[in-house]
Amino acid sequence: MNPELETYLDQLLSITQDVPGLIGKLSHEQFNWRPAPERWSIAECFDHLNASARGFVPAMDAAIADARARRLESQGPFTYPLIERVFVRVNEPPPKLTFRAPRALKPSPGKEVDLVLGEFMNWQTALGERIRRADGIDLRRARHKSPVGPLKWSLGTMFAVVLAHERRHTWQARQVRREIGFPV
């Protein structure tokens, strides 16, 4: 397997192993507690990640299908455009810049831990499947429109952004647990 994809699978495994321990035993009150009215709860962090996956996984499918149809094949290494590298970097935790979530990716309050965690883990499985299916594809030239903006992103950048975004909101959820006033 392409070394870049192996790195993405390692990152995915780390997140997949970390999240159940972070949120799996929280009460409904803890899961939905907000440190301040304008800040997200742990539930909202993960509901947002689930909404993001609902957009990105189909975009990855389309990029993979198009690349296979056009025979865009390579084992890399790949170098991505500056704007894509910057977009990945600004999604890494801890956040140096904050953004408002697009309307389609805004989380809903009052979610149940088991439902959100189950959906998140299903998306992790789906993401792993896409990473494995991308082996042999030119990750730089395989492109598709981003579900969060007008630009086309390379498939490699989509993988990197989704994983950085997951780390960012997992970090954010961990900060909520550390807040003074977090329900015991």
Residue 12 phi/psi, 5-degree rounding, is -60, -45
165: its two tokens: 């975004």
- What does the pLDDT look like over 148-179, one tens digit per residue? 888 899 999 999 999 999 999 999 999 999 99
**Which domains are seen in the chain, by residue range?**
3-178 (1.20.120.450)
pTM of the entire predicted model: 0.95
Low-confidence ranges of the chain (pLDDT < 70): none
Neighbours of 31 (CB within 10 A): 24
pLDDT of residue 70: 97
Question: Tell me: the pLDDT tens digits for 60-82?
Answer: 999 999 999 999 999 999 999 99
Mean pLDDT of all residues belonging to the chain: 95
Report the C-alpha gap between 179 and 174 in whole angstroms.
9
Place of tokens 């647990």: 177
